[in-house]
């Protein structure tokens, strides 16, 4: 991975992209959008960055399309439109478009340049930083992929105007996570936000990206430090998968699931690390001001814990957690006794 990450901010960065692309003398320029970003973002992008485009490539929106079939269609589209090794792909979309588009670019003719223009809050503060590209293999998320930094990432908050509120709130959970694992001041500031809106969140996007960038630059291949980014994700992923595979359950977005996961793991941190119960309680209260409580029956909890035990990331039957010693002080590779899980759910369900 490159030792620096080329992330630029604001409308001016979008406008400068034209100069950068011209200077690089690409043989052809492709833009990848999904159904929603084609509708909401493409015209604005082309107004700000009036480049001559060889073809607009489009995919259906949604995680269920982050797969090999879509890649094959896009490789074909590139091929039919004469893409060569000196072509460039601009991924304009959320994490699905940037993950999949990045992978398509990394593999087409053994790799062409690509740029990411994240259009969801989650993709701005998370998916666009760290060079992970990839696709799902059946139900298994992100099983196939490559770590490679894009030529550039351009972050501007203007896209958030058309983003559904739930998607905005989902991305906000990753920002709260960055505060919890790395920066108490940032956590305090975010926890005081009164109303989640693009305008209110805009000033905090860059600091969140900076927190993730610091971690990723130190540990690009997830050998150690990068694990801290998984806070809330061990239980959060199990809850997310449970909701996804359960037809009677409502839709639960990634950030909504990890918001639950972070409260549960804050509780585990009291018992298996040195987090004070007052701080864990405070963490729970903050999450509950932003996220409606998810009702998890005993049956749900059993099924979620079953998924947790079968998580492929467990090593030798051990489930390792990233917990908190204090806000801003993560504790990695902590093993949690299984009898604590039921108590963690109780803590989550109880009113403050
Ligand atoms: N590479 C990484 O390090 C990394 C990190 C976190 C997440 N991810 C991946 O990111 C994906 C989730 O990203 P996401 O939450 O952005 O999902 P997403 O790309 O599916 O976007 C969410 C929804 O918002 C729509 N949308 C996007 N921009 C919009 C806009 N400006 N206005 C209106 N609608 C818009 C999309 O079409 C989609 O329906 C997952 O596949 C996850 O695995 C990757
Ligand atoms: Zn996440």
Which top CATH class is 165-349?
mainly alpha
* Cα gap 141→254, rounded to integer Å: 12
pLDDT of residue 42 exceeding 50, the answer is: yes
Ligand number with the minimum distance to the CA of 176? 2
Radius of gyration of the chain (CA): 20
Query: What is the overall mean pLDDT for the chain?
Result: 94
Catalytic annotation, residues: 110, 132, 174, 212, 222, 226, 230, 233, 237, 254
167 lines ligand 1 (CB under 6 A): yes
pLDDT tens, residue by residue, 14-25 = 999 999 999 999
Residue nearest ligand 1's atom 41 by CA: 96
pLDDT of residue 290 exceeding 50, the answer is: yes
331 lines ligand 1 (CB under 6 A): no
Give the mean model confidence (pLDDT) for residues 201-219.
93
CA-CA-CA-CA dihedral for 279, 298, 167, 154, to nearest 10: 60
pTM of the model: 0.96
| Other beta carbons less than 10 A from residue 249's beta carbon | 12
Three-class SS of residue 175?
Answer: helix
Q: How far is CA 108 from the centre of its chain?
A: 24
Under a CB-based contact definition with an 8 Å cutoff, are residues 119 and 37 in contact?
yes
Fold adopted by 7-162: Rossmann fold (3.40.50)
What pLDDT does residue 352 have? 65
Under a CB-based contact definition with an 8 Å cutoff, are residues 15 and 49 in contact?
yes
Residue 2 pLDDT level (bands cut at 50, 70, 90): very low
Ligand number with the minimum distance to the CA of 158? 1
| Domains in the chain: boundaries | 7-162, 165-349
Residue 132 pLDDT level (bands cut at 50, 70, 90): very high
């Amino acid at each position: 991975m490159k030792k620096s990450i080329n992330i630029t901010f604001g409308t001016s960065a979008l406008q400068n992209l034209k100069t950068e692309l011209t200077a690089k003398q690409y043989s052809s320029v492709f833009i990848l959008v999904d159904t929603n970003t084609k509708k909401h973002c493409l015209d604005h992008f082309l107004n700000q960055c009036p480049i001559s485009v060889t073809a607009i490539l489009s995919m259906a929106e949604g995680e269920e399309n982050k797969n090999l079939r879509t890649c094959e269609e896009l490789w074909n589209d590139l091929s039919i439109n004469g893409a060569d090794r000196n072509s460039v792909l601009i991924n304009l979309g959320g994490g699905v478009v940037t993950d999949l588009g990045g992978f398509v670019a990394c593999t087409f003719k053994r790799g062409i340049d690509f740029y990411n223009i994240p259009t969801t809050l989650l993709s701005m503060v998370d998916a666009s930083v760290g060079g992970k590209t990839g696709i799902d293999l059946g139900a298994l998320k992100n099983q196939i992929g490559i770590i490679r930094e894009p030529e550039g990432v351009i972050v501007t908050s203007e896209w958030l105007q058309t983003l559904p509120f739930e998607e905005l709130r989902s991305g906000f959970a990753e920002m709260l996570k960055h505060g919890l694992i790395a920066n108490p001041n940032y956590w305090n500031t975010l926890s005081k936000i009164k109303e989640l809106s693009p305008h209110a969140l805009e000033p905090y996007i860059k600091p969140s990206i900076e927190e993730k960038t610091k971690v990723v630059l130190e540990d690009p291949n997830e050998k150690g430090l990068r694990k801290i980014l998984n806070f809330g994700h061990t239980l959060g992923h199990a809850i997310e998968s449970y909701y996804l595979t359960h037809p009677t359950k409502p839709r639960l977005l990634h950030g909504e699931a990890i918001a639950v996961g972070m409260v549960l793991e804050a509780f585990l941190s009291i018992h298996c690390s040195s987090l004070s119960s007052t701080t864990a309680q405070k963490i729970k209260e903050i999450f509950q001001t932003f996220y409606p409580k998810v009702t998890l029956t005993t049956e749900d909890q059993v099924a979620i814990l079953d998924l947790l035990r079968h998580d492929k990331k467990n090593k030798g039957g051990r489930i390792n957690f990233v917990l908190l010693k204090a806000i801003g002080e993560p504790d990695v590779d902590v093993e949690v006794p299984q009898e604590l899980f039921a108590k963690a759910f109780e803590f989550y369900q109880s009113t403050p």
